[in-house]
């Protein structure tokens, strides 16, 4: 299935936050500050104005920086993908109520490999 189309070839709506994720992925892949036009080339099926709107929202959320370069702006992610995921995990943990219960549930559902990795990270090995 092509991105942006369903199996019948009809346009499909992106899931909430999916477009923001695609824009961030394009910025991470660029590896340097880039214009909205460069981002739009990497995001399938998104209009230039839509990409600008998403970049503005990401700037407002503090996830992307914007600076003027010539007659346009260039955009760059504030953090890498791992940093963004970690911040999201912290945010969910803060909103989850009983921290011990949330962490216990999270750890109980880790794969054996992830459990071993977490243990190594916690003990500085």
User: Average pLDDT of the chain?
Assistant: 87
> Nearest-CA neighbor of 92 among 81, 82, 83, 103?
103
Answer yes or no: do 73 and 86 share one domain.
no
Answer yes or no: do 45 and 90 share one domain.
no
* Structural domains of the chain, count: 2
Q: Give the pLDDT band of residue 66 (cuts 50, 70, 90).
A: very high
Q: Which domain, by its residues, includes 46? A: 16-77
Give the tens place of pLDDT for each residue, 75-107.
Answer: 999 998 888 888 888 888 888 788 898 888 888
H-type alpha helices, the chain: 18-30, 36-42, 48-60, 81-95, 99-108, 112-122
Q: State yes or no: pLDDT of 2 exceeds 50.
A: no
Residue 72: inside a domain: yes
pTM of the model: 0.70
Q: Which of 6-10, 42-46, 55-59, 66-70 has the lowest mean pLDDT?
A: 6-10
């Amino acid at each position: 299935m092509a991105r942006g189309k369903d199996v019948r070839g009809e346009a499909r709506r992106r899931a909430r936050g999916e477009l923001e994720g695609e824009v961030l992925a394009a910025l991470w892949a660029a590896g340097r500050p880039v214009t909205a036009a460069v981002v739009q080339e990497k995001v399938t099926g998104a209009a230039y104005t839509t990409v600008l709107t998403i970049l503005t929202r990401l700037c407002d959320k503090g996830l992307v920086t914007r600076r003027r370069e010539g007659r346009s702006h260039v955009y760059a992610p504030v953090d890498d993908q791992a940093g963004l995921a970690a911040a999201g995990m912290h945010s969910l943990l803060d909103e989850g109520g009983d921290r011990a219960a949330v962490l216990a549930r999270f750890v109980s559902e880790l794969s054996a490999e992830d459990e071993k990795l977490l243990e190594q990270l916690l003990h500085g090995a």
